[in-house]
Structure 1
Amino acid sequence: MTEEWKTKLKKYYQGKLSDEEAKEVEADLEKLDAYQSVIDEELDADEHRDDAALPENDLPDGKAAKMVRSSIRHARFSLIAYVVMIVLLIYPVMTMASYLYYGWGNKANRLIDAAIETVYVTEPNVSLEEMEIEEEVGLFSLDVNMDLFKRIGDKDIKLGDWEVAYQFDQAEPPSRDYITETPPEDIPYYDTKKLYHPEASITNHDTDAWDTLEKLPEGTVAEAYLSLNDLHQPDSMREITEGLDIEWRWYAIDTGLEASGKSSEGGYLAPIGYPAQTDPDAWSPYHDGKPNAEQFMDNLRFLEDYEQQAVDIAHAKWLDLDERIDYLEGHGIKAYGGVVTGPSKEILKLQDNESVRAIYLGEVRLWN
């Protein structure tokens, strides 16, 4: 029995074959039944002939062995057939149960939203496109595949892709495949930080950033992480880059824990924030229906119910969303830095800006 025939038999019991293919399988099954009938008749005939020629209870050793082997083959075929039938019956039932599990209460869409919103809140200058998000339901599993993009200059370039796998409703760490030269650390730490609160010690100073920008030729664009000397209202952040051909892409938000940079458990706490630009697409967590700051708070409250999943998905071991939400509700939203992009020489002009405390240079590309 070939694997191809087994696959066709499985599809036959699932009702997935065309009429012509189903007729071929039925013909094969009828042949198998005919073969088995002939074998059984021959064995019965041989047995009667041998019984007539031999004294009672006397059977040649060769004939006995042949009958034993035939019985074993018949038993094996019957067992395999029963197992295949049971599997073919169980699989569609389990598949249907999986769809019901993820469909009940809109669970699948909420888990997909948790993955999407985690990206926007925890990945600076990273965005998604609806057509590049795919999901697949398995046996009580849900796989979410996302292509990630970041803006360099005035063009969105592909950063890579993530595959987030849920078993039931628990997320596993994503399988990340980056095509950029400087992929982020799986779990960042103090000495890999790129954004710093005004009261935080700088542990990863990019001392060559300004020199690199100065040496880059005209016609290049860059991404830069800016840490500021003071906290700013998000609406006033554009005043820092006023008059420059520079675009803010993401704001790093003070949530009361960034000064120490530690979670409530004492571990490294990654920054969170939100896009500086609105998205015209209605599906986006930061669509143009209302201000991004409001949608940021909506996202945090939503992720609070899926915090463990968000931690498993993000480049983080802690997010401390309940403490951060309480702080933001009491103190308001203020930014301590963020990500900008634009021509390299325009970013270089920020070197003498009193508002800029530190800079970390990210991606660099030819003019686009």
Structure 2
Amino acid sequence: MLGSETIGVAELTQRIKDLLEAQPELQFVRVRGEITNARTYASGHWYFSLREGEVQLRCVLFRSAAQWLPYLPHDGDEVIATGSIGVYERDGVYQLYVDHLEPLGDGALRQQLELLKQKLEREGLFDEARKRSLPPLPRCIAVVTSPHGAVWHDIQSVLRRRYPYVHLILAPARVQGDGAVESLVAALQAIQADGRAQVVIIARGGGSLEDLWAFNDERLARTVFACRIPVVSAVGHQTDWTICDYVADLRAPTPSAAAEIVTPYDRATLLSWLHGFSERLNEQIARRVEASREHVNQLEHRLQRAAPRHRMDNLRQRLDQSAQRLDLAITHHLLRARNQVRTLARELELLSPYGPLERGYLLAEDMASGNLVRSANHVTIGQRLRLHFSDGTAETSVQAVQPKGTGGGSHGRAP
């Protein structure tokens, strides 16, 4: 008993701490409540409160214990916390030092979901590198959903407004409750067997975690992963995430958004494109026609130049030019030969022994030998000579010989 004893706050807090920690039934307690005000510090420690109605119990989960939990609950999850009651002396409050957490209700489902997510992620089912791009202008789109819900109507409305040229296939399936997983798997397999669809939308409206649980099933996840056609997942509202969203090639926040995502170009954009394509096509055709016309003109010109008539004209002109050059060459050659003949004639005339006869000279020929008498020393008295004049000959005999420089005396015998 404290009685009238006066003690400090620290000592009082310590006594309360000792009293609580001395109670065996408070050192191992299991407390059920709803998680609230959960926060994690950089140290890895996790602080939260357990709430039941208006009553709250402060709790702390140290890193040494938190690291062994497969899943940390979120605010609003109902859990069973196992631990011991103690006093945090600085704040003077008692709190539960948690050693283990067991989720209840949605919390248990979330823990199961987290474990499956980790498993599939390790196996590579969420790998971004394997995800395929969507066709930009799909001709056929398949939708896996309930034929009775608003989702199917919304998708049809969006596609009718944006992209009325596509063929739409409904693969009806249960999206909630018993048999939903088997129905969804069968619908995806039927679409692949059909072979017409170029992209698949798997969709349903929003709901609780339990309502969407079929889309967290491992069998459906592996079917989506193995699907040969690109898959767009549109399950629940924008804040809802399922295993199907992680495995699909693309996740859409809502079914209506999925219909817009798979048709990125609306009717107005396509018509604008077609108009632009038409103009560019006309320009291309005009350029091709002009280029072809120019090419034909070039070929025609080359053909004309290579035609036989054109070649004959060229050959004829070349023959005329060759004949002209030949005539000039012959004329030049003849002129040069004529001049050469004239020169030779003059030289021959100068060298001819008959040339001087024209100038009054004569030639003496020994009639006996036929040799020309070139010197008076070769003449004898009585020698018969034939005298050649320019206009004829005369025969004579030598009567006297008088060599040059002898003073006019005769030479030889007298007749």
Shorter-chain TM range is under 0.3
After TM superposition, the score normalised by the length of structure 1 is 0.22
Q: Which has the higher contact order (CA 8 A, sep 6+)?
A: 1
